[in-house]
Amino acid sequence: MLDADIPNKNLDESLLKCSFGDLDLELEVPAGVWNPTPNGILLGETLEQMDFTNERVLELGTGCGVHAVVLGLRGASELVLTEVDQSILGHAERNLKKYGISCPIDLLVADWIQVQQKNFDTIIANPPFALSNKTYRRYFIDTLILEAHKLLKPGGRLIFIHSSMGDVPKTIHLLEECGLNVKILADKDYPFRDYYFEDEVYLKEMAAVPGSYSVRDGVRYERLVAFEARIPNASS
């Protein structure tokens, strides 16, 4: 959970307090970078319950490094973290040092999944959707699924967060088409965020997606899903 007084996006550098399970964190967040949204909160809660011992992990779009800290504390043996801006990576590096994450860490300026390194045990991602700035809102989801196999080793897995408004059945179908074994690690309903109501086009698009949201007591809820999609071992 987040400190309730902290807005979603930082206009100035600030400190973020958040808790994932038994982990209580206080992190430096640069200006212009989002604090964890409900997507990021569910992802952090999911990762906190997992074991990444001896795993080489790639996180796409690490932001302030909040999930990278969790990965390090849960045993990752190597972290490769990407962002579109070097200055953002500097903040992530300081947060990792603050929590004593001592495994090898590679900080890369990269555009989404355009990463040259390969043979990862796990890829972690929170694909942009509502604010993707793409005409095709599923761009980040689909490219992640279609390209992940190039970066993962046999038996490797992709862990990512997905909203019901992004068409969960379509995503499951695409994952299975790509030969990935799909598992739902967690799911949870969250009320619509204020900025959803500021985009009438988005709301109309989402109304056309079957099962995109539910309504209870006049409040609209999206369901967030934490997916694990694993490449079969070569012997499978």
Long-range residue pairs from 134-142, CB within 8 A, at least 24 positions apart, any chain: 137/166, 137/202, 137/205, 138/166, 138/167, 138/170, 140/112, 141/166, 141/171, 142/174
What pTM does this model have?
0.91
pLDDT tens sequence for the chain (236 residues): 434 333 455 445 678 888 999 899 999 887 767 667 899 999 999 999 999 999 999 999 999 999 999 999 999 999 999 998 898 899 899 999 999 999 999 999 998 899 999 999 999 999 988 766 778 889 999 999 999 999 999 999 999 999 999 999 999 999 999 999 999 999 999 999 888 888 888 888 888 898 999 999 999 999 999 999 999 987 65
Secondary structure of 38-55 as H, E, C letters: HHHHHHHHHHHCCCCCCC
Query: What is the per-residue pLDDT across 156-168, written as a single tens digit (0 to 9) for each?
Result: 999 999 999 999 9
Give the residue extent of every domain in the chain.
Answer: 37-230
- Mention the CATH class of domain 37-230: alpha beta
Q: Which of 196, 207, 224, 208 has its CA nearest to residue 42?
A: 224
